[in-house]
Amino acid sequence: MIHEYGMFTDAGNQAVESIVILKFQRQLSWPTVQAMLAALALEEVYAEAVDTAVREAVYTACFD
């Protein structure tokens, strides 16, 4: 089951979830996760990856 991260599509949520999974696999820092979200947002269909709601959902999933 894909979690909801505030992306506009299921594909967007799945892309963000892959970043969250990678965070745990590689013990990535928050700045690295943010950089990965920014890189994802360069794709027009995932532009909302840097929105506050998405970043807060990712931070909660990764660090709370």
Instruction: Report domain extents, the chain.
Output: 10-63
Which residue, 12, 7, 18, 1, is CA-closest to 56?
7
Asked whether the predicted pLDDT for residue 1 surpasses 80, the reply is: no
Q: How far apart are CA 13 and CA 21, in angstroms?
A: 12
Mean pLDDT of 9-29: 97
Mean pLDDT of 7-25: 97
Residue pair 48/12 in contact (Cβ under 8 Å)? The answer is yes
Q: What is the pLDDT of residue 56?
A: 98
Q: What is the pLDDT of residue 25?
A: 98
Asked whether the predicted pLDDT for residue 12 surpasses 90, the reply is: yes
Q: What is the pLDDT of residue 2?
A: 79
Mean pLDDT of 9-20: 97
